[in-house]
Amino acid sequence: MTMESFFITYQDKFIISTIVLVSLLIIRYVLNFTITKLGRRSGINEARTRLIRRYVNVTLVFIAILFETNYIFGAEFKDLALIFSSVFAVLGVGLFAIWSILSNVTSGIIMFFNFPYKVGDKIEIHDKDFPIRAIIEDIRAFQVHLRLDNGNLVTYPNNLMIQKAITLIKKDAIDDGIDTI
C-alpha cells in the first residue's frame, strides 16, 4: 500500500478526526477563557486559575483519546473497557495509599469555584483541637497557607477547609495594613 492509497482509503477518518480535534480545541479555548474570566472576576490567584485550566485540559485530552479510538478508528468498546479497567485497577491500588492527596486536590477544585474567602482575608477556623485565627496568604492545590498573629505559617489541608466552620473576621486584612508578622 502506497502512501497515496493509504490517505485515499482513510480520507474520511482523517477529516472526521480533524473536525473532532478542531472542535475540542475550540471547546478548550472557550473553557479556558471562561475559567480565566471567572478567576479574575472572583479575585482568585492566577496560579489557582492555571491549575484548574490544566485539570480541564487533561480531561479534554482523555475525552479526545476516547472519542478518537472508539468512534472514529473503530476500536471495540470491550477492548477499551479492558484497557481502562486495567489502568484504573492499577491506579486504584496506587492511589488508595494517597487518597488524602486526591481529597485535597478535589477540595482545591471545589474551593476554586465556590469558596467565599480570598487571599488576604482574616479568618477563624473553629476546630476544637486546634482553633486558628489567621490571614490567608495563599491557596494552593493541596493546602492553604495561613499566617498566624504571632508570625508562624500554618499549612492547612484543603479538605479540612471545606469540612470546618470558618468565620470571616476581616476582608482583605493585608490591604487594610494589618501586620501579619
- pLDDT (average), residues 149-157: 92
For 66-88, write each residue's pLDDT tens digit. 777 776 667 676 776 777 788 77
Q: In 155-172, which positions are buried (b, 16+ CB within 10 angstroms) versus exposed (e)? A: ebbbbbbbeeebeeeeee
Q: Where are the domains of the chain?
A: 3-97, 114-170
Confidence of residue 111 (pLDDT cuts 50, 70, 90): confident
- Looking from the CA of 153 toward its CB, the CA atoms found within 13 Å total 7
List Cβ neighbours of 131 (8 Å cut-off, separation of 6 or more): 124, 125
- The pLDDT tens digits for 155-174 are 999 988 888 999 999 877 66
Q: Whole-model pTM above 0.75?
A: no
pLDDT category, 144, cuts 50, 70, 90? very high
Name residue, grid cell 490567584.
45
Q: Return the pLDDT at 118.
A: 86
Q: Which residues contact 104 (CB under 8 A, 6 or more apart)?
A: 141, 142, 143, 157, 158, 159
**What distance in Å separates the CA atoms of residue 121 and residue 173, rounded to the nearest whole number?**
5
Element (H, E) at 176: none
Could you give the CA distance from residue 86 to residue 20 in angstroms, rounded to a whole number?
27
| 179 pLDDT more than 70 | no
Q: Which of 38, 36, 52 is nearest to 106 (CA)?
A: 52
CATH class for the region spanning 114-170:
mainly beta
State how far the Cα of 63 lies from the Cα of 25, in Å rounded to an integer: 12
